[in-house]
Structure 1
Amino acid sequence: MDEDEAIALARSRYGIQGKVTRFATEKDDTFRVEAADGRRFILKVANPSEDVSEISLQAELLQHIAQVDPDLPVPRILPDDAGRAYAQITDRAGQARQVRLMSYLDGTPLDSTASSPAEREQVGEVLGRLRHATAGFSHAADTRVLAWDVKHLQSLRPLLDDVSDPHQRAVLTAGMARFASIESRLAALPMQVLHNDFSRSNIVVDHALPAFVTGIIDFGDAVRTAVAIDVSTALLNQLPRDAAEHPVNDLFADGKDLLRGYLRQASLSDEELALVPHLVMGRAVARALITLWRARLFPQNATYILRNTEPGWAQLDWFLARSMDEVSGTLLNTAA
């Protein structure tokens, strides 16, 4: 969908006259709408292939969070001219798509700015609160199988055949073998509906505000999964991106700040803490497999799709250079 069509959609469905700015996304069309009166919104038009049940899950989850913890900075769903949280449209290409409008959260994406240890702890506290806010939520689509839910990592094994670089394929194969050895333990961990994509690009911040975190966005991967998986996703996105050029002994130095904040709000068992580093490795494997595959399918969007893939090779090397026991102990002494 181009900008002109998005402007017309905002006007006809939501009565908003203004200009739009497209955001880079992997599969949907997302725009910031700036109304003539200065208000700003997010207009999301789902990919035609996205099932309406997934849109329903996201909308209802955001409404649930707003009721349980109104102070959590998540987008608010704004109804259309018929009072609906989301609605089907037919775009100018003749495709049926789901559209929804949400509040805009001011700030800077965390992946575009640095953060101090204290600020990272605040990020962790917000993740802990979000875990509590989603704990009582359920939806018919919350058990759907997502490639980005690392408990299904082995289902990505066929993608190994398409990894052209022999060294990369060997690294990913070794990572999958390690992950297979902890899967029975993973299945026994506590599970609930969780955000499942608490990456730095989905966290909005403002250094000038005491709360620091001003937004948690993109609930498109929300699913019922292990609590430890949700934490591991957050920690993966705190790993150093330059580990190849500047090797480190403690890959989790920044992540431990986030974890300390998290543990002030929500608890993790020793078993969960022992498995989280392995789940981080599993997520890095999944990220490489999925992004390499999607970049081949959509070469015009390869730069965006692969933006986090290259730093992951040195991160995977760090895990595979250490024994399973050493990796398991990485976070056990992180103080709350």
Structure 2
Amino acid sequence: MAVVPDSPARAPEGQSDRPASEEDNRQLGAVASTDAFFRAASANLSVRPDTTERDISADLLKRHYGLEGTITTLSSEVERTVEVTLPTSCRLILKTSTRPEAVDSFRFQSAAMARLHAKANVVVPRVIPTRGGALMFKEDRVCGYLQTRIDGTPLHQAVPAPEQLFQTGNALARLDQALEKTELPSAHRPVLWNIRCWPRLMELAQNLPSGSIADNVRAAMAEYVSSVEPYIAGLDWQVTHNDPSPHNMIVTDQDLGFIDFGDGGWNPRIQDLAVAASHHVTDPALPLGGAEQLIAGYASVLPLSALEARVLTGLMKARQSALILVNYWRARLFPAEADYIKKNVARAERGLSILAPLDSPSGEAAVLTALALPQPDDPGGLTHQTGSRT
């Protein structure tokens, strides 16, 4: 009987421990803001998923991994994603695509998880090496990779208690800490969620419903351009997950786990906190809508700089706006998949309406107040020991 190999896959080429300088960040930001980058990133999300292709997952699994199992297709916005249940009841995830741009995306995703799986304090899927020991495979028109499946409860189904939010921020900071001072292959590929694409996203504004939603988006993006974008080169940049939404974080018996690195790449580190916090703005009675404990948990591991504290709420609002803009656009392109595409839109619209009254000074004040919060009680022992930024 075939078994899932325990030996590590070959390390990807292109990894480096050289930290990027501020000049590097300026140059990379300039590249990311070019028309060609934005158009390529938009094109990648303007085509249907690979569901129309004949499913050859079983053949690929046998040929590249020597494994057989029951195949179940899962929902996915871009690539084909299937769950593989082996005769041993072990469950794996196989991602494949026939698109040329998927090669770079899968190269990045598999390398990121392989890098993180070696870290003792971060929970991510384990990449299963091919028969030849590689992180991914490529043959003819198809490429893909195989990973383990994390067992647990998706964060969006969990109760957002203060201690859980603090642990979420804590775990996210440890993830960013594990990715600090490293480069991964294809980290600079075109991704529409890249921060320097955001001002260009207003080209999609005609897809928004009229009224307060469109008004809030326009105001948030204008604030980003005037009060945040001029300063992002001064932030600490590194490889980030770039989509730590409640659908991509799993509450496990061990710790909080992270899945789906498909939007990851080279971004300001604080961007991961902005994304995660933006999804937890739900309570209009609180200045940051309830994201305060998540922010405090993150800062308990990676203390925020003065600049990060100043721009965080602007980044949160811009990310909420980006999510609204991109998903209204894609829902119009693919009406049959609109419900899945817009699964996070209502949360973003509500969160943006809560944060809309905050200008830059009041947003900064709210963040500084959150940073001073005491650590909540943790009766389940979920919060791990934290370290300082190195």
Amino acid at match of 2:261: F
Cα deviations by residue, 1:285-319 (Å, 9 ceiling, x for unpaired) = 10011001111111121111111112322322223
Report if the CA contact (8 A) 2:313-2:360 is conserved: no
Out of 6-15 and 184-193, give the one that drifted further.
6-15
Identity over the aligned pairs, expressed in percent? 27
Amino acid at match of 1:264: S
Task: State the TM-score, normalizing by the size of structure 1.
Answer: 0.88
Aligned residue number for residue 381 of structure 2:
none
Aligned residue number for residue 135 of structure 1:
180
Aligned residue number for residue 8 of structure 1:
59
Candidates 99, 104, 107, aligned match of 2:149: 104
* Cα displacement (A) at 1:166: 4.9
SS at match of 2:350: helix
Aligned residue number for residue 271 of structure 2:
229
Report if the CA contact (8 A) 1:126-1:262 is conserved: yes
Report if the CA contact (8 A) 1:205-1:212 is conserved: yes
- Partners of 2:323 and 2:338 lie apart in 1 by 14
1:64 aligns with 2:110: no
Aligned residue number for residue 358 of structure 2:
322
Aligned residue number for residue 335 of structure 1:
372
Aligned residue number for residue 53 of structure 1:
104
Report if the CA contact (8 A) 1:61-1:137 is conserved: no
**Change over 3 Å in CA distance of 1:131–1:82 after alignment to 2:** same
SS at match of 1:81: coil
* Cα displacement (A) at 1:330: 1.4
Amino acid at match of 1:286: A
Aligned residue number for residue 186 of structure 1:
232
Out of 150-159 and 291-300, give the one that drifted further.
150-159
Gaps (5+ residues) in structure 1?
91-95
SS at match of 1:276: helix
Amino acid at match of 1:77: V
Candidates 88, 94, 109, aligned match of 2:138: 88
Amino acid at match of 2:313: P
- Partners of 1:112 and 1:47 lie apart in 2 by 32
* Cα displacement (A) at 1:167: 4.4
Cα deviations by residue, 1:122-151 (Å, 9 ceiling, x for unpaired) = 221211111111112213522334221234
1:217 aligns with 2:248: no
Candidates 75, 84, 87, aligned match of 1:24: 75
* Cα displacement (A) at 1:5: 3.1
Task: State the TM-score, normalizing by the size of structure 2.
Answer: 0.76
SS at match of 1:74: coil
**Change over 3 Å in CA distance of 1:311–1:132 after alignment to 2:** closer
1:201 aligns with 2:235: no
* Cα displacement (A) at 1:8: 3.4
Candidates 162, 176, 187, aligned match of 1:117: 162
Out of 253-262 and 197-206, give the one that drifted further.
253-262
Aligned residue number for residue 38 of structure 1:
89
Report if the CA contact (8 A) 2:245-2:279 is conserved: yes
Amino acid at match of 1:223: G
- Partners of 1:322 and 1:259 lie apart in 2 by 17
- Partners of 2:330 and 2:311 lie apart in 1 by 28
**Change over 3 Å in CA distance of 1:3–1:104 after alignment to 2:** farther
